Chains A and B, each alone.
Chain A
């Protein structure tokens, strides 16, 4: 039911890139990402998915939640191509794309991420001319940083590169 996802084996040095700083609500997302699983928070009582994670369900107000695994398949909802001025580590990679991807299971659940040519390829590794709103994509995972700073982030690859 869940598609296989590809995780990069060797951590990529963060090189000044910003790493996620999880809060209490978001921590499970990153813990599952570290295992190569894309999961989103859902209400255990009414079943409504919600993103970003938060303490209680805005539909039924229940505090009981669960983290549902999703297929990692989605579509590009929108994207930008960032050019300087940027933080130095990002300027070095510019121009690079940032996309919002809607999940096939629930188009109102959208994740910000980068379209890359391979799980551990740098930002900007896909030709921006290849990008289209609506393009089907799938999640891959890349581990960034070292030691205590290690964090695995989802990224996206075009289904039809």
Chain B
């Protein structure tokens, strides 16, 4: 499947705390925008991939956008862990002849809609019977637990987490589409921010966003005839490690060795490139601490070195590994990581608002600490 398919169109709605339109409308706008970007008619769409926890199922979307006869459709679970897998499933479908024009999307109203954990009672049987009654209610609590253990084992500090938050915010400050455009972050703001779940403060948590994004995939042969410069999917992988428990990964021998390690092993095995060849990275950042954990998992540094890796401006423009160059989930928009995919595409087209000069290889990752996925994109 190496370089057999390419992303040829991207689309998105505005990002805001509240958008009036429904998730379905937003999804259709993003998808039609991506097809327009690619120069492909909606009637040619025959492959669809999306997330579960989705109110815009294939039937609704296909009939609204006027898709043709659809011959491949797939939904990936585990929230933000599924972002790159939607594209990966289309890659497989197109490479094996199950579809010719694939669309993946994410539409969410987490800005104005309800918080999923607000309905914690509905999740009580398995495995929440072991966690929710004790007040471990939110993803921030579940990940906060791993974050404190990580800080304890490896000497990571709040300054390391701030490095992640700051890099994302600085890039958002350059991106007019970002929710945090023109809203700088300082170390003092970070260090005095209110707690959400100690050791995580407000700025360690992603935004809450209404918005939608989409991308269009075709075969490499067809991509050469499209409107934009193709961005090839060089490698793609999913990862569900043995004895993994999702965000409450407290019940195995090594809870800090998460799904990123599994996805990375598969990704690099099928790539001609390694971590040292990556020019720019879009790493899933629902919480700051997921970045050092992912840096370790994907092999940019050794075990326990992810926090230290962030020092000295490593994640900033011009640093060792420019990160989340549109602002990421922390500062552009939190749409289950789909904005990381579209920003990866912009970097390799040369159209990012924080363009890395001559970027030709971009790693995009989905949520760490849940069953995950990743893409290695190249121009």
Contact = CB atoms under 8 A, between A and B. Distances in A.
Interface of A: 17-23, 25-26, 30, 51-52, 58, 77-83, 85-87, 90, 93, 95-96, 98, 100, 108-114, 123, 128, 133, 144, 153
A18 B136 CA distance: 10
Nearest to A132: B152
Contact of A123 (B125, B135, B252): B135
Contact of A133 (B129, B134, B148): B148
B129 to A, nearest CB: 4
Contacts of B200: 80
B124 A86 contact: no
Contacts of B134: 98, 112-114, 123, 153
Contacts of A111: 130
Contact of B135 (A52, A90, A144): A90
A78 B151 CA distance: 10
Given A20-B124, A20-B129, A21-B124, A98 B149 contact: no
B253 A108 contact: yes
A19 B141 CA distance: 18
Contact of B149 (A26, A30, A82, A133): A133
B133 A90 contact: no
Contacts of A98: 134-136, 141, 145
A30 B136 CA distance: 18
The 7 A-B pairs at the shortest CB distance, nearest first, are namely A21-B124, A81-B198, A78-B149, A80-B144, A20-B129, A83-B195, A80-B197
B196 A108 contact: no
Given A23-B126, A90-B137, A111-B130, A18 B120 contact: yes
Given A21-B129, A112-B130, A123-B134, 4 more contacts: A52-B130, A78-B149, A82-B197, A112-B248
Interface in B106-122: 115, 118, 120-121
Contacts, number: 112
Contacts of B149: 77-78, 133
Contacts of B125: 21-23
Nearest to A14: B133
A30 B126 CA distance: 14
19 contacts: A17-B135, A18-B121, A20-B124, A51-B251, A52-B126, A52-B127, A77-B250, A78-B152, A79-B145, A80-B141, A80-B148, A81-B197, A82-B138, A83-B195, A93-B135, A95-B198, A100-B145, A108-B253, A123-B135
Interface in B233-261: 243, 245, 248, 250-253
Max chain B Cβ within 10 angstroms of own Cβ: one of A26, A78, A111: A78
Contacts of A93: 135
Max chain B Cβ within 10 angstroms of own Cβ: one of A77, A79, A83, A90: A83
Contacts of B196: 83
B199 interface: yes
A77 B132 CA distance: 18
Contacts of B141: 80, 82, 98
Contacts of A81: 195, 197-198
A82 B196 CA distance: 6
Contacts of B121: 18
B88 interface: no
B146 interface: yes
A133 B147 CA distance: 12
Given A78-B145, A110-B251, A18 B130 contact: no
Contacts of B351: none
B131 interface: yes
B194 interface: yes
Contacts of A96: 135
Contacts of B243: 58
Interface string B86-120: 00000000000000000000000000000100101
Given A86-B137, A100-B145, A110-B251, A26 B130 contact: yes
Max chain B Cβ within 10 angstroms of own Cβ: one of A22, A25, A90: A90
B198 A153 contact: no
Contacts of B137: 82, 86-87, 90
Contact of A20 (B115, B133, B253): B133
Contact of A23 (B129, B152, B194): B129
B161 to A, nearest CB: 14
Contacts of B126: 23, 25-26, 52
Contacts of A86: 135, 137-138
Max chain A Cβ within 10 angstroms of own Cβ: one of B125, B134, B136, B148: B134
